[in-house]
Structure 1
Amino acid sequence: MKRGKARGDDDFIAFAQASSARLQRAAYLLTGDQHQAEEAAQATLVRVYAAWGRISRKDPYAYARTVLANLITDQWRRPMREYATEAMPERPAAQDVADVVSKRRWLIGVLQSLSPRERAVVVLRHFFDASEAEVARELDLSPGTVKSLNSRALAKLRVTTGLVPPLRTETEAGAGL
């Protein structure tokens, strides 16, 4: 039996082509692992397709972000069962590869200094440009919690990246350090 286009397959294909790369980059920022990012982005698109009939007229990208964040949050809660390699897949050499890799490693290292919830909030707020209300809804947190997690995470990032000197302790201040 041949299936028709009743579910809006053409619309979904266009959506998937337009958003899969961005979902994968966001998943990479959240996981720090290329293989997990690819799997999470693919699983996200599968779930979006399953719900396409009811979400396609709303905001499918917001739904996809929510699914992605939930999938990755669930992975943090589960013990790791597989170990991916550190080898990155080959990419077209449009830029200096060493520079791109060093910046990516730096970003992932900085993001890994945050707790999983802080990292999710920062990526949703600043990579996806989601509002605090959207992040709160997508992560099932209160808006106040989103604000405090974002503020705390950005403060940690400033210290980690050296943009703001760390606070000195009383011992260091007394010793003239």
Structure 2
Amino acid sequence: MVESFHEFVVHRSPALCRTAYLLTGDHQLAEDLVQTALARTYRHWRRVRDGNPEAYVRRVMYHQQVSWWRRRRLVERLEAELTERADTDHSEATTLRLSLDAALRQLTPRQRAVIVLRYYEDLTEAQVADALGCTLGTVKRHGHDGLRRLRAVAPELVDATAERSTR
């Protein structure tokens, strides 16, 4: 039992950390989220290991993130304009990443979870519904609302993705 869990953790931790970062927007919180989710998963490993353990861990991560978010209720915002500094790297990729981070923070936790799982993790709507423990209609609604909100708060992302697809 311990060996199969260890193997799962070694192989899937990088992907889980990336998803956790997109859910939290902070590297340290993402690591804490993954660690908490894996600890909770370990308690139920015998039941979970034969099914889809990664979906189970993602569901635990999502629920834990919502729980933390409800408890802290802190507002985190990136400045709309980056301050100019001589030693700052102005690469296009960094600007795009910061814009995406800021835009994702403006979504509700459920919208962010659906957008991250659907478009970053490339899961189907049915897989997202299974991972989050909700209906397919709920996933579609949160995905639609989240994309509409992203287009409104970060039109530069739409322009950047259109520009990249023409290259």
TM-score range, shorter chain: 0.7 to 0.9
* 2:122 alignment partner, SS class: coil
1:111-150 Cα offsets, whole Å, 9 max, x none, are 0121122111111222222332332343343321211110
- For normalisation by structure 2, the TM-score amounts to 0.75
Q: 2:46 is matched with which residue?
A: 53
Partner of 1:4: none
The one-letter code sitting in structure 2 at the alignment partner of 1:110 is A
Letter in 2 for 1:115: T
Paired with 2:96 and 2:6, the residues of 1 have a C-alpha distance of 32
Q: Secondary structure at the match of 1:78?
A: helix
Identity of aligned residues (%): 38
User: 1:72, CA displacement in angstroms?
Assistant: 0.5
- In the other structure, the counterpart of 2:106 is 113
TM-score of the aligned structures, taking structure 1 as reference length: 0.71
Name the counterpart of 1:172.
none
Counterpart position of 2:13 = 20
- Are the aligned partners of 2:58 and 2:132 in contact in 1 as well (CA < 8 Å)? no
Of 21-30 and 151-160, deviating more is 151-160
- How many residue pairs get aligned? The number is 144
Specify which structure has the bigger relative contact order, considering alpha-carbon pairs within 8 angstroms and separated by 6 or more residues.
2
Moved more, 152-161 or 67-76: 152-161
* Bigger proportion of residues as helix: 2
Which runs of 5 or more structure 1 residues have no equivalent in the other structure? Answer: 1-6, 82-95, 165-177
| Counterparts of 2:152 and 2:66, CA distance in 1 | 25
Q: Letter of the aligned partner of 2:68 in structure 1?
A: Q
> Which structure has the larger Rg over C-alpha atoms?
1
Per-residue displacement from partner, 1:73-98 (whole Å, max 9, x unpaired)? Answer: 111111269xxxxxxxxxxxxxx9x6
Check 1:42–1:119 CA distance in 2 against 1; reply closer, same or farther (3 A cut): same
Q: Which amino acid aligns with 2:12?
A: S
Tell me whether 123-132 or 113-122 shows the greater mean CA deviation: 123-132
Partners in 2 of 1:80 and 1:118 — Cα distance? 17
- Please give the residue correspondences for 1:135-146 in structure 2 after superposition, counting only pairs within 5 Å: 135-146=128-139
Of 48-57 and 152-161, the range deviating more from structure 2: 152-161
Which structure 2 segments of 5+ residues have no match? 75-88, 160-167
Q: For residue 39 of structure 2, what is the amino acid of its counterpart?
A: V
Match of 1:79 in 2: 72
**Contact 2:20/2:34 (CA < 8 Å) preserved in 1?**
yes
1:127 and 2:117 matched: no
Q: Distance in 2 between matches of 1:101 and 1:15?
A: 32
Residue 55 of structure 2 corresponds to 62
**1:167 aligned residue:** none
Q: Matches of 1:77 and 1:134 in 2, distance apart?
A: 25
